[in-house]
Structure 1
């Protein structure tokens, strides 16, 4: 009888321990703050097609294929040289090649703000005056969210910039995209002062 009671207690404790351990698994949820979303342009980016914010599963509606990866050979500036540049220079130019300016994004969104559309148009004008240029659009994120989520979000940013560029008349075959996610921060701080400049698409001339 005592053995039976002891066995019952032992089984109960084992089951409770398993349930407790299973309940402690850490779940990382990507950032979903949409309060900072820019409106973008409904003409180029209709709401029915492109909501401008990422969901936990990835792209919001249409899962576009990734055109680049971390294995791609990018011809951006030497990182050591860039990191030695003054902060003001890095904020203005990012890692973009001479003649181009980067495009910045709000937290957890890939929609283009009107201000950044103007930057893209300026970059497009530079390309039109230098038609031999082939361009790499490098998408970047700040460090919040999972690595996989940030790779997808950074790629979506680069794809949106590419769409806008092609709408200005730049040939699609002169542009390719690559996502670095959170892997190449331009500023190493862990606050909004650094994050706002790490959410970026750089324009790299090949």
Structure 2
């Protein structure tokens, strides 16, 4: 009887420990923006960040910092500025990514061309590309995704003629959200690369 009682106590302790361990290692739910499953290919998503090919030309987002393609998240000048500039240095602009993706979107190529042109106009200037994600997924996953996003932008700039020795990358993952909201508009603004001149 004493052996059975001891064995039961050990079994209960073991089950309790496993439950605590499993609960502590659980992953945050990753919820795609439209309720579907995340795709491995690139979505167009052109309107989600306030940048799309038409807005760049017609609303002057790259040439006129006072105007953006705008979202409905907030109307303050501070939010408009954050949407256009992220945390970028002067004369540089952020690029945005689709949910759970790190490929450069077609509507972001013009932004990267402008950033490369600015870098070419500042000989010897170094840049840090900061990769960011929204807060869906684990910290580890988001740090890796932010790094892949920064590396994709780095490779694009290199392909445009920027010397690779002038470019560093860092990932902040979900740790530095620009917009704190828990809605798709905020998420879309937090999925970005910022470009910081050194």
Q: TM-score, normalised by structure 1?
A: 0.68
8 Å CA contact 2:129, 2:168 repeated in 1: yes
Hey, what's the Cα distance between the residues in 2 that align with 1:11 and 1:175?
A: 60
What is the aligned partner in structure 2 of residue 22 from structure 1?
Answer: 18
What is the aligned partner in structure 1 of residue 128 from structure 2?
Answer: 136
Change (3 A) 1:187 1:168: same
Report the alpha carbon displacement of residue 9 of structure 1 after superposing the two structures with TM.
4.1
What is the aligned partner in structure 1 of residue 193 from structure 2?
Answer: 201
Hey, what's the Cα distance between the residues in 2 that align with 1:99 and 1:114?
A: 21
What is the Cα-based RMSD across aligned positions, in Å? 2.5
Structure in which a larger fraction of residues adopt helix: 2
Q: Aligned pairs, how many?
A: 159
> Structure 1: where are the runs of 5+ without partners?
41-83
Hey, what's the Cα distance between the residues in 2 that align with 1:190 and 1:155?
A: 23
Change (3 A) 1:132 1:20: closer
What is the aligned partner in structure 2 of residue 126 from structure 1?
Answer: 118
Hey, what's the Cα distance between the residues in 2 that align with 1:6 and 1:175?
A: 68
Q: TM-score, normalised by structure 2?
A: 0.70
Hey, what's the Cα distance between the residues in 2 that align with 1:132 and 1:14?
A: 65
Change (3 A) 1:96 1:7: same
> Structure 2: where are the runs of 5+ without partners?
32-36, 45-75
**Alignment map for 1:64-143 (pairs within 5 Å):** 86-143=78-135
Over residues 99-127 of structure 1, what are the superposed CA-to-partner deviations in whole Å (9 max), with x where a residue is unaligned? Answer: 11101111211111111122111211222
8 Å CA contact 1:106, 1:196 repeated in 2: yes
Hey, what's the Cα distance between the residues in 1 that align with 2:114 and 2:90?
A: 13
8 Å CA contact 1:138, 1:178 repeated in 2: yes
168, 183, 190: which is aligned to 2:182?
190
The structure number with the bigger radius of gyration is 1
